[in-house]
Every structure is written in structure tokens, then in C-alpha cells.
Amino acid sequence: MKLSDLITEPNTGRLSHSKIWANIACASATVVFVRQGWAGTLSADIWFAYLGIVGGYAVAQRWLASRKGGSDAA
């Protein structure tokens, strides 16, 4: 996988706004998650929210790609 695959459409090679913003959102959530972990303020609620959002997004993305019959978008 090339790094550019995170922000471009696989078929056209053009920038994808949905991929850009989804990856920015996941990266932002990860930064907050890690900072709270280092600060010692990470609670179970934050664990569940983070894993549900970031993990759920990845699962939904793969499921949608399989339903469309295309390659895995992740």
C-alpha cells in the first residue's frame, strides 16, 4: 500500500475528500486518545468511544467495499 492510497481514489488516482477528512478525523481521535493515555486520564468510556468510532469506521469501510464488489478501500 502506498501512502497516497490514504487520500486518493484507487481507480482514478484523484484526491478523495471523504478519504482525506476520514483520515484526519481518525488521526485526531488517535492523538487525543494517546495524549489522555500518557496523562493518565484515559477512562473506559474513552476506550469504548475510540474503539467504536475508529474501529467501527474501518469495519464499515471494508463491509461497504465488499458489498460494492470492489477492492478493499482501507
Per-10-residue mean pLDDT, the chain, length 74:
80 86 88 94 91 86 81 53
Q: What is the pTM of this model?
A: 0.68
Max CA distance (Å), the chain: 44
In whole angstroms, what is the distance from residue 43 CA to residue 38 CA?
Answer: 12
Contact 53, 29 (CB under 8 A): yes
- Grid coordinates belonging to 46: 474513552
pLDDT in the model for residue 70: 61
Supply the pLDDT for residue 38. Answer: 95
> How many contiguous H segments (helices) and E segments (strands) does the chain have?
3, 0
Cα distances (angstroms) measured from residue 31 to each of 2, 8, 37, 54, 62: 22, 23, 10, 12, 23
The pLDDT value recorded for residue 36 is 94
